[in-house]
Amino acid sequence: MKAVVQRVSRASVKVDSQIVGDIGPGLVALVGVGKDDTAADADWMVKKLLALRIFPDDAKNMNRSVTDITGGILVVSQFTLYGDARKGTRPSFTDAMPPADAERFYHDFMAKLRAATSLKIAEGRFAAMMDVELVNDGPVTILLDSHA
């Protein structure tokens, strides 16, 4: 699994001009599922998202997690994280999990994330065209890869 994680002061996602998910301070996670991902990758990502210390403490050091600040997490499915553009100018997505399998995997991941915390967990809609709005706080952006 891959994720681009951004620390935000607020964020929302719309489908067909309707807000389907929003949070205040917290994390936006653009999440992609690879063809070789397993339940262990989803478990790793859940733990990492909840424990990643990228929020400032009283001394302005990044020592607090989204759990510590009682923030929210907005997850947006993003198969394009598996785009390989090393050759040519059109990315190949052969490393992404096939859509039907990826949808089941994504929903299982979301269930695990919700079960692991009492924080507000919001999400976009799998395979939909979405408008994501966010205010990147810092800016702070972290790349996560369960296979790295």
Is residue 79 flagged as an active site residue? yes
Is residue 94 flagged as an active site residue? no
CA distances from 115 to 7, 48, 74 (A): 22, 15, 15
Q: 26 near 66, Cβ under 8 Å? A: yes
Q: 33 near 1, Cβ under 8 Å? A: yes
State the pLDDT at residue 113.
Answer: 98
34-54: average pLDDT: 98
Q: For 90-122, b where at least 16 C-beta lie within 10 A, e where not — what string?
A: eeebeebbeeeebeebbeebbeebeeeeebbbb
Cis omega before residue 99 (within 30°)? no
| Catalytic option among 78, 89, 117, 126 | 78
Class of domain 2-145: alpha beta
Integer Cα distance of 25 and 38 in angstroms: 30
35-60: average pLDDT: 98
45-56: average pLDDT: 98
State the pLDDT at residue 67.
Answer: 98
Q: What confidence tens digit (pLDDT) does each residue in 65-77 have?
A: 999 999 999 999 9
Q: What confidence tens digit (pLDDT) does each residue in 108-145 have?
A: 999 999 999 999 999 999 999 999 999 999 999 999 99
| Catalytic option among 6, 55, 67, 79 | 79
Is residue 105 flagged as an active site residue? no
